[in-house]
Amino acid sequence: MVTIDLTTAPPAPATFLDAMARRLALTLPELRLVAELAGGAPLPFDLRDGEAADAGSLSGRLGQSRGTSEDRAYAQALASLHDPHETLRRRGLLTDAGADAGLLGAVGLLATPRLALDVDVAAGATQVKAWHRQAGDAVASLSTCDGIVFELAWFPVHQWTTELARVTAVPEDLPLTASQVPALLDVPYALADSVGEALRSSRADLVPVLVGQSDGEVLADGSPMGDAEAAAAVCAVHAESRGRLRILAAAVSERVTTSVGVVSWVLLRDGWHSLTPRHDDGARVSVARVDPDDLATALAPVLAQVTVGEAATA
Protein backbone atom coordinates (compact mmCIF):
# COMPACT_ATOMS: atom_id res chain seq x y z
CA MET A 1 0.00 0.00 0.00
CA VAL A 2 1.30 3.45 -0.92
CA THR A 3 1.21 6.15 1.75
CA ILE A 4 1.65 9.79 0.75
CA ASP A 5 1.85 12.36 3.55
CA LEU A 6 1.00 15.80 2.17
CA THR A 7 0.63 17.42 5.58
CA THR A 8 4.25 17.16 6.77
CA ALA A 9 6.66 19.92 5.79
CA PRO A 10 9.14 18.73 3.12
CA PRO A 11 12.79 18.30 4.09
CA ALA A 12 15.08 21.25 3.54
CA PRO A 13 16.71 21.10 0.08
CA ALA A 14 20.42 20.32 0.00
CA THR A 15 21.00 22.74 -2.90
CA PHE A 16 19.09 25.51 -4.65
CA LEU A 17 18.30 23.23 -7.58
CA ASP A 18 16.85 20.57 -5.26
CA ALA A 19 14.13 23.05 -4.28
CA MET A 20 12.96 23.49 -7.88
CA ALA A 21 10.83 21.33 -10.11
CA ARG A 22 12.06 20.94 -13.67
CA ARG A 23 9.54 22.43 -16.12
CA LEU A 24 9.28 22.47 -19.88
CA ALA A 25 6.73 24.01 -22.23
CA LEU A 26 5.83 21.63 -25.05
CA THR A 27 3.45 22.00 -27.93
CA LEU A 28 1.00 19.16 -28.52
CA PRO A 29 3.02 17.82 -31.51
CA GLU A 30 6.20 17.90 -29.41
CA LEU A 31 4.45 16.12 -26.55
CA ARG A 32 3.11 13.45 -28.88
CA LEU A 33 6.55 12.94 -30.38
CA VAL A 34 8.15 12.52 -26.95
CA ALA A 35 5.42 10.03 -26.01
CA GLU A 36 6.19 8.09 -29.18
CA LEU A 37 9.91 8.08 -28.38
CA ALA A 38 9.09 6.88 -24.85
CA GLY A 39 7.90 3.58 -26.26
CA GLY A 40 4.48 4.78 -27.32
CA ALA A 41 3.53 5.92 -23.81
CA PRO A 42 -0.16 6.90 -23.66
CA LEU A 43 -0.89 10.49 -22.66
CA PRO A 44 -3.40 11.10 -19.83
CA PHE A 45 -6.00 12.73 -22.06
CA ASP A 46 -7.96 11.99 -25.22
CA LEU A 47 -7.43 14.98 -27.49
CA ARG A 48 -7.91 14.75 -31.24
CA ASP A 49 -6.71 17.28 -33.76
CA GLY A 50 -9.55 19.64 -34.66
CA GLU A 51 -11.01 18.94 -38.09
CA ALA A 52 -12.59 21.56 -40.27
CA ALA A 53 -16.13 20.82 -41.41
CA ASP A 54 -16.13 19.66 -44.99
CA ALA A 55 -18.61 20.91 -47.51
CA GLY A 56 -20.46 17.60 -47.69
CA SER A 57 -21.02 17.27 -43.96
CA LEU A 58 -24.15 18.40 -42.14
CA SER A 59 -22.30 21.30 -40.53
CA GLY A 60 -20.91 22.23 -43.95
CA ARG A 61 -24.42 22.42 -45.41
CA LEU A 62 -25.98 24.27 -42.48
CA GLY A 63 -23.12 26.68 -41.84
CA GLN A 64 -20.61 26.98 -39.02
CA SER A 65 -21.73 26.79 -35.43
CA ARG A 66 -19.65 28.11 -32.54
CA GLY A 67 -18.35 24.60 -31.97
CA THR A 68 -17.23 24.06 -35.56
CA SER A 69 -15.63 27.52 -35.63
CA GLU A 70 -13.63 26.68 -32.51
CA ASP A 71 -12.61 23.32 -33.99
CA ARG A 72 -11.46 25.04 -37.18
CA ALA A 73 -9.45 27.63 -35.22
CA TYR A 74 -7.89 24.86 -33.12
CA ALA A 75 -6.93 22.86 -36.21
CA GLN A 76 -5.43 25.94 -37.84
CA ALA A 77 -3.39 26.72 -34.71
CA LEU A 78 -1.97 23.18 -34.68
CA ALA A 79 -1.23 23.31 -38.40
CA SER A 80 0.77 26.53 -37.92
CA LEU A 81 3.22 24.88 -35.50
CA HIS A 82 6.69 23.89 -36.66
CA ASP A 83 7.86 20.31 -37.08
CA PRO A 84 8.37 18.87 -33.56
CA HIS A 85 11.61 17.09 -34.51
CA GLU A 86 13.08 20.44 -35.58
CA THR A 87 11.89 22.43 -32.54
CA LEU A 88 13.02 19.81 -30.02
CA ARG A 89 16.46 19.62 -31.67
CA ARG A 90 16.82 23.42 -31.58
CA ARG A 91 16.08 23.35 -27.84
CA GLY A 92 18.60 20.57 -27.21
CA LEU A 93 15.90 18.12 -26.11
CA LEU A 94 16.40 15.76 -29.04
CA THR A 95 19.71 14.51 -30.43
CA ASP A 96 20.83 11.61 -32.58
CA ALA A 97 21.05 9.62 -29.35
CA GLY A 98 17.37 10.22 -28.59
CA ALA A 99 15.24 12.51 -26.48
CA ASP A 100 16.29 14.02 -23.15
CA ALA A 101 16.27 11.29 -20.50
CA GLY A 102 14.40 13.37 -17.94
CA LEU A 103 11.76 14.23 -20.52
CA LEU A 104 11.27 10.58 -21.44
CA GLY A 105 11.13 9.58 -17.78
CA ALA A 106 8.47 12.19 -17.00
CA VAL A 107 6.25 11.11 -19.90
CA GLY A 108 6.80 7.48 -18.92
CA LEU A 109 5.70 8.25 -15.37
CA LEU A 110 2.52 9.91 -16.69
CA ALA A 111 1.68 6.55 -18.25
CA THR A 112 2.61 4.25 -15.35
CA PRO A 113 1.58 5.85 -12.02
CA ARG A 114 0.51 4.36 -8.70
CA LEU A 115 -1.52 7.45 -7.78
CA ALA A 116 -3.25 9.77 -10.24
CA LEU A 117 -4.82 13.21 -9.78
CA ASP A 118 -6.96 14.70 -12.55
CA VAL A 119 -7.33 18.42 -11.86
CA ASP A 120 -9.92 20.72 -13.45
CA VAL A 121 -9.79 24.39 -12.42
CA ALA A 122 -11.91 27.26 -13.76
CA ALA A 123 -11.55 30.81 -12.47
CA GLY A 124 -13.14 33.67 -14.37
CA ALA A 125 -12.37 33.22 -18.05
CA THR A 126 -9.46 30.85 -17.38
CA GLN A 127 -9.75 27.07 -17.37
CA VAL A 128 -6.83 24.77 -16.73
CA LYS A 129 -6.67 21.00 -16.87
CA ALA A 130 -3.80 19.22 -15.17
CA TRP A 131 -2.75 15.65 -14.59
CA HIS A 132 -0.48 14.72 -11.66
CA ARG A 133 0.98 11.22 -11.59
CA GLN A 134 3.02 9.68 -8.76
CA ALA A 135 5.01 6.49 -8.42
CA GLY A 136 7.63 5.80 -5.77
CA ASP A 137 9.60 8.96 -4.96
CA ALA A 138 8.73 10.82 -8.16
CA VAL A 139 5.82 12.90 -9.48
CA ALA A 140 5.17 14.17 -13.00
CA SER A 141 2.55 16.75 -13.91
CA LEU A 142 1.11 17.92 -17.21
CA SER A 143 -1.13 20.98 -17.55
CA THR A 144 -2.71 23.09 -20.27
CA CYS A 145 -5.23 25.88 -20.70
CA ASP A 146 -5.68 25.64 -24.48
CA GLY A 147 -4.82 22.08 -25.55
CA ILE A 148 -2.00 23.42 -27.74
CA VAL A 149 0.80 24.34 -25.31
CA PHE A 150 1.44 22.13 -22.28
CA GLU A 151 3.63 22.49 -19.21
CA LEU A 152 5.41 19.27 -18.29
CA ALA A 153 7.06 19.16 -14.87
CA TRP A 154 8.71 16.49 -12.77
CA PHE A 155 9.92 16.64 -9.19
CA PRO A 156 10.49 14.56 -6.02
CA VAL A 157 7.36 13.52 -4.16
CA HIS A 158 8.23 15.72 -1.15
CA GLN A 159 7.73 18.78 -3.39
CA TRP A 160 4.20 17.74 -4.34
CA THR A 161 2.67 20.00 -1.69
CA THR A 162 4.35 23.04 -3.23
CA GLU A 163 3.21 22.10 -6.72
CA LEU A 164 -0.38 21.59 -5.59
CA ALA A 165 -0.40 25.11 -4.13
CA ARG A 166 0.02 26.47 -7.67
CA VAL A 167 -3.35 24.94 -8.61
CA THR A 168 -5.32 27.27 -6.32
CA ALA A 169 -3.73 30.58 -7.35
CA VAL A 170 -6.57 33.06 -7.97
CA PRO A 171 -6.08 35.17 -11.16
CA GLU A 172 -5.14 38.79 -10.52
CA ASP A 173 -8.20 39.99 -12.47
CA LEU A 174 -10.48 38.44 -9.83
CA PRO A 175 -9.97 40.63 -6.73
CA LEU A 176 -11.32 39.21 -3.48
CA THR A 177 -14.10 41.04 -1.63
CA ALA A 178 -16.62 40.29 1.13
CA SER A 179 -19.00 37.34 0.78
CA GLN A 180 -22.53 36.69 2.05
CA VAL A 181 -21.60 33.06 2.66
CA PRO A 182 -20.56 32.30 6.28
CA ALA A 183 -17.17 30.78 6.97
CA LEU A 184 -18.91 27.44 7.61
CA LEU A 185 -22.32 26.86 6.01
CA ASP A 186 -24.10 23.53 6.45
CA VAL A 187 -27.09 22.95 4.15
CA PRO A 188 -29.44 20.06 3.30
CA TYR A 189 -28.29 18.85 -0.09
CA ALA A 190 -31.82 18.85 -1.53
CA LEU A 191 -32.24 22.52 -0.57
CA ALA A 192 -28.91 23.59 -2.08
CA ASP A 193 -29.76 21.74 -5.27
CA SER A 194 -33.31 23.07 -5.59
CA VAL A 195 -32.26 26.67 -4.89
CA GLY A 196 -29.64 26.40 -7.61
CA GLU A 197 -32.23 25.09 -10.06
CA ALA A 198 -34.65 27.91 -9.15
CA LEU A 199 -31.96 30.55 -9.78
CA ARG A 200 -30.93 28.97 -13.08
CA SER A 201 -34.59 29.05 -14.14
CA SER A 202 -34.92 32.75 -13.15
CA ARG A 203 -37.37 31.82 -10.39
CA ALA A 204 -35.70 33.49 -7.40
CA ASP A 205 -39.22 34.06 -6.02
CA LEU A 206 -39.35 30.35 -5.16
CA VAL A 207 -36.31 30.46 -2.88
CA PRO A 208 -38.16 31.57 0.31
CA VAL A 209 -40.73 28.82 -0.28
CA LEU A 210 -38.01 26.19 -0.73
CA VAL A 211 -36.24 27.32 2.45
CA GLY A 212 -39.51 27.30 4.44
CA GLN A 213 -40.35 23.78 3.25
CA SER A 214 -36.87 22.34 3.79
CA ASP A 215 -36.67 19.23 5.99
CA GLY A 216 -33.45 20.35 7.67
CA GLU A 217 -32.03 23.53 9.13
CA VAL A 218 -29.39 25.72 7.51
CA LEU A 219 -26.48 26.20 9.91
CA ALA A 220 -23.93 29.03 9.97
CA ASP A 221 -20.84 28.21 12.02
CA GLY A 222 -22.91 25.55 13.80
CA SER A 223 -25.91 27.77 14.67
CA PRO A 224 -29.35 27.66 12.97
CA MET A 225 -30.12 30.55 10.62
CA GLY A 226 -33.45 32.29 10.15
CA ASP A 227 -35.27 31.71 6.88
CA ALA A 228 -34.32 35.08 5.37
CA GLU A 229 -30.64 34.75 6.28
CA ALA A 230 -30.60 31.13 5.14
CA ALA A 231 -32.13 32.04 1.79
CA ALA A 232 -29.56 34.80 1.25
CA ALA A 233 -26.63 32.55 2.18
CA VAL A 234 -27.69 29.61 0.00
CA CYS A 235 -28.41 31.93 -2.93
CA ALA A 236 -24.98 33.51 -2.49
CA VAL A 237 -23.26 30.13 -2.89
CA HIS A 238 -24.68 29.98 -6.42
CA ALA A 239 -24.75 33.69 -7.32
CA GLU A 240 -21.20 34.48 -6.14
CA SER A 241 -19.59 31.52 -7.88
CA ARG A 242 -16.67 32.71 -10.00
CA GLY A 243 -14.90 29.43 -10.45
CA ARG A 244 -14.53 25.87 -9.31
CA LEU A 245 -11.88 23.28 -8.63
CA ARG A 246 -12.39 19.54 -8.91
CA ILE A 247 -9.74 16.91 -8.30
CA LEU A 248 -10.34 13.25 -9.02
CA ALA A 249 -7.85 11.07 -7.12
CA ALA A 250 -7.35 7.44 -8.07
CA ALA A 251 -5.11 4.54 -7.23
CA VAL A 252 -3.85 2.74 -10.32
CA SER A 253 -2.67 -0.84 -10.45
CA GLU A 254 -1.37 -2.14 -13.78
CA ARG A 255 -3.30 0.67 -15.52
CA VAL A 256 -6.53 -0.40 -13.83
CA THR A 257 -8.20 2.13 -11.51
CA THR A 258 -8.91 0.43 -8.19
CA SER A 259 -10.23 3.24 -5.99
CA VAL A 260 -11.40 6.84 -6.51
CA GLY A 261 -11.89 9.95 -4.33
CA VAL A 262 -12.95 13.52 -5.10
CA VAL A 263 -12.13 16.99 -3.75
CA SER A 264 -14.41 19.87 -4.82
CA TRP A 265 -13.99 23.59 -4.13
CA VAL A 266 -15.92 26.64 -5.34
CA LEU A 267 -14.48 30.13 -5.79
CA LEU A 268 -16.71 32.77 -4.17
CA ARG A 269 -16.19 36.51 -3.71
CA ASP A 270 -13.89 36.06 -0.72
CA GLY A 271 -11.92 33.11 -2.10
CA TRP A 272 -12.10 29.33 -2.13
CA HIS A 273 -14.69 27.31 -0.21
CA SER A 274 -14.65 23.52 0.03
CA LEU A 275 -17.76 21.49 -0.80
CA THR A 276 -18.02 18.38 1.36
CA PRO A 277 -21.01 16.01 1.31
CA ARG A 278 -22.14 14.58 4.65
CA HIS A 279 -24.44 11.67 5.41
CA ASP A 280 -24.27 11.46 9.21
CA ASP A 281 -27.42 13.61 9.57
CA GLY A 282 -29.20 13.06 6.29
CA ALA A 283 -27.82 14.17 2.93
CA ARG A 284 -26.14 17.52 3.59
CA VAL A 285 -23.31 19.56 2.12
CA SER A 286 -20.79 21.62 4.06
CA VAL A 287 -19.44 24.82 2.44
CA ALA A 288 -16.33 25.88 4.35
CA ARG A 289 -13.93 28.74 3.68
CA VAL A 290 -10.43 27.43 3.01
CA ASP A 291 -7.01 28.90 2.47
CA PRO A 292 -5.50 28.19 -0.97
CA ASP A 293 -2.56 26.47 0.72
CA ASP A 294 -5.00 24.02 2.38
CA LEU A 295 -5.37 21.94 -0.79
CA ALA A 296 -2.67 19.44 0.17
CA THR A 297 -4.26 19.04 3.62
CA ALA A 298 -7.67 18.49 2.02
CA LEU A 299 -6.22 15.90 -0.34
CA ALA A 300 -4.37 13.93 2.33
CA PRO A 301 -7.43 12.01 3.70
CA VAL A 302 -8.70 11.43 0.16
CA LEU A 303 -5.39 9.88 -0.88
CA ALA A 304 -5.40 7.83 2.33
CA GLN A 305 -8.88 6.55 1.49
CA VAL A 306 -7.82 5.78 -2.07
CA THR A 307 -4.74 3.82 -1.00
CA VAL A 308 -6.74 1.91 1.62
CA GLY A 309 -9.27 1.04 -1.08
CA GLU A 310 -6.44 -0.16 -3.30
CA ALA A 311 -5.14 -2.41 -0.54
CA ALA A 312 -8.64 -3.82 0.06
CA THR A 313 -9.02 -4.80 -3.59
CA ALA A 314 -5.52 -6.26 -3.87
Chunk the chain into consecutive blocks of 10 residues (it has 314) and report each block's average pLDDT, rounded to whole numbers. 51 52 94 95 73 44 60 86 95 94 95 94 92 95 94 93 89 91 96 96 96 94 96 97 95 73 95 91 92 90 78 58
Label the pairing between strands 184-188 and 98-99. unpaired
* Alpha-carbon span 238 to 55, nearest angstrom: 43
Helices 227-239 and 189-200 sit at what angle, rounded to 10 degrees?
Answer: 60
Cβ-defined contacts of 201-204 (< 8 Å, 24+): 204/235
| Residue 61 counted as domain residue | yes
| Residue 307 counted as domain residue | no
Among the candidates 89, 111, 133, a domain finishes at: 111
Give Cβ neighbours of residue 308 (< 8 Å, ≥ 6 apart). Answer: 1, 259
| Residue 313 counted as domain residue | no
| Residue 145 counted as domain residue | no
Adjacent-strand bridge partners of 156 = 138
Predicted structure pTM score: 0.83
* Alpha-carbon span 206 to 193, nearest angstrom: 13
Cβ–Cβ under 8 Å, residues 293 and 189: no
| Residue 226 counted as domain residue | yes
Cβ–Cβ under 8 Å, residues 75 and 49: yes
Other Cβ atoms closer than 10 A to 277: 11
Among the candidates 95, 111, 127, a domain finishes at: 111
Adjacent-strand bridge partners of 187 = 285
Q: Which domain holds residue 226?
A: 184-239
Among the candidates 66, 94, 111, a domain finishes at: 111
Domains contained in the chain, number: 2
| Residue 67 counted as domain residue | yes
In this predicted structure, what is the pLDDT of residue 100? 94
In this predicted structure, what is the pLDDT of residue 6? 58
| Residue 194 counted as domain residue | yes
| Residue 152 counted as domain residue | no
* Alpha-carbon span 297 to 304, nearest angstrom: 11
In this predicted structure, what is the pLDDT of residue 293? 87
In this predicted structure, what is the pLDDT of residue 310? 62
